[in-house]
């Protein structure tokens, strides 16, 4: 009898969990760039400027690491993307120029816009740069170098915490050693504090994505060479961090991104594969997963299901209308933009 009762309770729990889990559907997808003025592009970032208006940045040029690689910006309004414009470069003087890398857009609660990016010959030697805008990205101020030791967000957007402070995820790649760090600002980016995360760990990890929970815990999910996404947790608003540990999620040594939704759920975009012989192997598939607790994740949308292509380096936000917008590298030739929305309850019932 007791076994029967426990079985019933188990299946009721499974049913209620499934019923409570948000379901998502793809409502649109498009390529951002027409007649690209560069050979290759990569590493997009996306932000909502105003309701119904989006901005995307990425780096583009002959190829990653080439000196002509600069930062480009495209803006969408009324479902139309404008032709990309060049907004930052790595020119030092007439005789010296470096490639640009990994732009990141960030809008503070005070409407101040940041464009963070890296300049330098390699990821091991690059330095952090930024520009600001007070007119929703129509114009940008002069480029400024971040303080020594501060690189800015390496790939994924910063998060503004409950007290107004800004938590930015960073990492360093030096001498074949990858370590993640957090950079925190309590004055909206004027000064930064460097916070280490388990620097003694054996894991090679970079490019964290930051998630915030209702109980004020913070989680980072990191790209790794472990064939798994690696995580760490903070219980004190990012001041200190737990040891790094692996999650259930596969990772082919490729960038990820995640966002905390208004409904309290966490949403992740990632390549659901493991690495192959070549560093780019495993980037042909791209999925969206959700979780309530950051521990148990469930895939809810397949964005790409290729065989040998590269669909990588996603960026994800939730806009003011509750939709989820994702951009990612499309075969190094373009940036793809996908919009998701949560299925309504009647749609879920029809599906079940």
Q: Which pLDDT does position 175 carry in this prediction? A: 84
Q: Which domains does the chain have, with CATH numbers?
A: 25-351 (2.120.10.10)
Q: Which pLDDT does position 22 carry in this prediction? A: 74
Q: Which residues pair with 318 in a beta bridge?
A: 324
Structure tokens at 202: 């054996």
274-306: per-residue pLDDT in tens? 986 665 578 999 999 999 999 999 999 999 999
Q: How many helices (H) and strands (E) does the chain have?
A: 2, 27
121-176: per-residue pLDDT in tens? 999 999 999 999 999 999 999 999 999 999 999 999 999 999 999 999 999 998 88
| Rounded to 5°, angle at Cα 117 from 36 and 278 | 70
At residue 4, does pLDDT exceed 50? no
172-223: per-residue pLDDT in tens? 998 889 999 999 999 999 999 999 999 999 999 999 999 999 999 999 999 9
At residue 345, does pLDDT exceed 70? no
- In three-state form (DSSP H/G/I as H, E/B as E, the rest C), the secondary structure along 131-152 is EEECCCCCCCCCCEECCCCCCC
CA distance linking residue 164 with residue 137, whole number of Å: 22
Identify whether the C-beta of residue 235 lies closer than 8 Å to the C-beta of residue 213: no
39-50: per-residue pLDDT in tens? 999 999 999 999
3-state secondary structure of 155: coil
- Could you tell me the pTM of the whole model? 0.92
């Amino acid at each position: 009898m007791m076994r029967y009762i426990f079985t019933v309770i188990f299946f009721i729990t499974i049913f209620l969990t499934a019923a409570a889990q948000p379901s998502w559907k793809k409502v649109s997808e498009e390529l951002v760039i027409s007649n690209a003025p560069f050979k290759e592009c990569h590493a997009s970032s996306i932000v909502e400027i105003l309701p119904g208006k989006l901005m995307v940045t990425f780096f583009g040029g002959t190829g990653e690491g080439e000196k002509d690689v600069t930062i480009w910006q495209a803006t969408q309004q009324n479902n139309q993307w404008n032709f990309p414009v060049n907004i930052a470069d790595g020119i030092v003087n007439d005789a010296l120029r470096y490639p640009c890398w990994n732009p990141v857009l960030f809008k503070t609660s005070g409407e101040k816009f940041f464009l963070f990016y890296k300049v330098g010959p390699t990821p091991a030697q690059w330095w952090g740069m930024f520009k600001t805008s007070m007119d929703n990205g129509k114009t940008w101020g002069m480029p400024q170098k971040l303080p020594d030791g501060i690189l800015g967000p390496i790939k994924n957007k910063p998060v503004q915490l409950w007290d107004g402070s800004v938590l930015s995820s960073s990492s360093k790649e030096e001498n074949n050693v990858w370590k993640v760090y957090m950079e925190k600002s309590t004055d909206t980016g004027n000064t930064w504090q460097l916070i280490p995360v388990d620097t003694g760990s054996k894991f090679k990890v970079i490019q964290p994505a930051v998630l915030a929970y209702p109980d004020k815990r913070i989680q980072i999910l990191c790209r790794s060479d472990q064939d798994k996404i690696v995580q760490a947790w903070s219980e004190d608003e990012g001041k200190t961090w737990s040891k790094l540990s692996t999650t259930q999620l596969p990772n082919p040594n490729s960038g990820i991104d995640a966002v905390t939704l208004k409904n309290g759920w966490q949403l992740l975009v990632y390549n659901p594969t493991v690495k192959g012989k070549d560093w780019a192997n495993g980037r042909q598939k791209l999925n969206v997963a959700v979780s309530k607790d950051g521990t148990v994740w469930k895939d809810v949308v397949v964005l790409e299901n290729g065989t040998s292509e590269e669909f990588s380096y996603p960026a994800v936000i939730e806009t003011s209308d509750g939709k989820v917008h994702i951009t990612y590298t499309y075969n190094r030739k373009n940036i793809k933009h996908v919009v998701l929305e949560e299925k309504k309850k009647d749609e879920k019932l029809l599906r079940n």
